[in-house]
Chains A and B, each alone.
Chain A
Amino acid sequence: MTIDGYLVELERELRLRRAPRARLLRETEDHLHDLCAELAADGLAREQAEARAVAQFGAAATVAARFAEATASTTAHRAVNVGVAAFLAYAGVFVAFATAASPVLRDFPQGAGSLFALQFAAVALGVAFVRSLRWRGAVAAPTTELTAIARALSVACVALVCAVVAEGAVAVSRPAGVVVWSDGRWLTLAFAGALAVVLLSAIGAIRTAAQAQAVDALPSRDQHGSAAALLADDVETLLTRARLPQASRPLRWLLAHPWPATLALAALAFAAVTATGVAGSGGNGLAGAATLAAVEASLIVVGLAAFGRTLGLRH
C-alpha cells in the first residue's frame, strides 16, 4: 500500500474531531515519509519502501483503535472529575439547605429522598474514582475498567439528578412557617450552580458510556477479568502506591465478601442513625429515629442487591 492510500484509510477509520484528526494525519504522514526515506537509503525501491513503512506503522484499524482506547480513557477520567465536583457542589448546597431550614430534615421523610440519593451517588462515585485513579497516567485503561467506570458514573449521575429533583420538590412544597427559597437568594443561586454541574456530569457520563461501548466493540479490546476482581486489584495497587500495603488485606477480604460486609455496615448505620436521632430529639424520638435508621439500613442492603453487580462490587 502507498503512503497516500494508507492516509486515506486511516482518515476513514479514525473517530476523532476534525482538529485532532488533521494533526494525527499530518504527524503520520511525516512519520511515514521519514521511515520511507530511511528504508530507501538502505537500498529499497521507493514502492517497496512505502509498503514496508506502512506495514511497520500498523494497520489503520489498529491505530484508530488505539486512539479510541486512549480517548475513551481520557474522557472517563475527566467525567469522573466532573462527577466528583458535581457531588461536592450539590452536597455543599444540601448541607447549606439543611442548615438554613433544619426542621424540614427533621420532619422525615421530607428531604430524606435527596439524602438517600446522595449516598447512592457517593458510593457509585467512590467506585468510579478508585478505578479511574488506578489507571490515570496509563496510556489506556482496560476495557473492563472503562465499562465499569461508565456504569458507576451513570448510577452516580442518575442518583445525583434524583437528589436534585427530590430537594427541588421539597423546596417548592415547603410547609408554612419554614424559610422559603425566595428568602434565600444565595441558596437558590448555589442550587442552580450545583444543578448545572450535575447536568455537566451527566453529559460526561453519557459520553463515557458511548466511548466505552465503542471500545468494547473493537476486535482488539483488552479484557482483564471481572469488574469485581479488578476493583480489588485497583484498591491493592493504590494502597501499595500510598505505601499502605498492610491495609490491602482487610479491604480485599471485604470486597471478596460483599454481603457480610454490607450487613455489618447496615447494622452500624442503623445504630448510628438511631443514636443520632434520639440524641437530637432529647431522647423523645426513638420511634421516628428507629424508622429512619431502618430505612437507611434497608437501603444499604437493597443498594448492594440492586446495583452491586452494575458497580462491580459483587460477582
Chain B
Amino acid sequence: MRGEVLKNHLELLVLTALAAGPGHGYSIIRAIRDRSDGEFELLEGSLYPALHRLERERLVSSSWSKVAGRKRRVYELSPNGRATLEQQERDWRRFERAMNLVLDGT
C-alpha cells in the first residue's frame, strides 16, 4: 500500500514509530514497514518533509547523535507529540469502528 492513502496518515505513522523510542529517518521507515508486516511501503523521501514539519510544530525534537559510529539526525517524540498521537489514535479508532459498522452492514 503506498501513495495518497499513506500520505494522508503519514503523521500518525511517524508519531507511532517514534513512540517506541528515538530514531533516525531510515529506522523510522523500517519500523513502519516491519510493524505493518511489509504492507506500508512509504515513498521514503516523503518522510523527511513530514519529520521537519512535525519538528516545526514541536511534536518531535531532533539532534545530531552518533548511531553505530555515524553521525545521524535522531528524532524523538515530545510531550506535545505524545498528546497529539493519543488524540489521533482515538480519532482513528473511532473512524475505524464507524467504517467497520458501515462495511459490515452491506
Contact = CB atoms under 8 A, between A and B. Distances in A.
Interface of A: 20, 23-24, 26-28, 30-31, 34-35, 56-58, 62-63, 66-67, 69-71, 73-74, 136-140, 241
B50 A70 contact: yes
Contacts of B57: 74, 136-137
Q: Which of under 10, 10 to 19, 20 to 34, or 35 or more describes the interface residues of B?
A: 20 to 34
A241 B73 CA distance: 34
Contact of B59 (A24, A73, A137): A137
Contacts of B59: 137
B25 A31 contact: yes
A30 B26 contact: yes
A57 B44 contact: yes
Nearest to A34: B26
Contact of B49 (A31, A139, A241): A139
A58 B43 contact: yes
Contact of A139 (B45, B53, B70): B53
11 contacts: A30-B24, A31-B25, A58-B46, A62-B45, A66-B45, A66-B50, A71-B49, A71-B53, A74-B56, A139-B10, A139-B11
A63 B45 contact: yes
B32 to A, nearest CB: 14
Given A28-B45, A58-B46, A70 B52 contact: yes
Contacts of A58: 43-46
A62 B43 contact: yes
Nearest to A75: B56
A63 B49 contact: yes
A200 B12 CA distance: 33
Contacts of A26: 73
Given A35-B26, A139-B53, A27 B84 contact: no
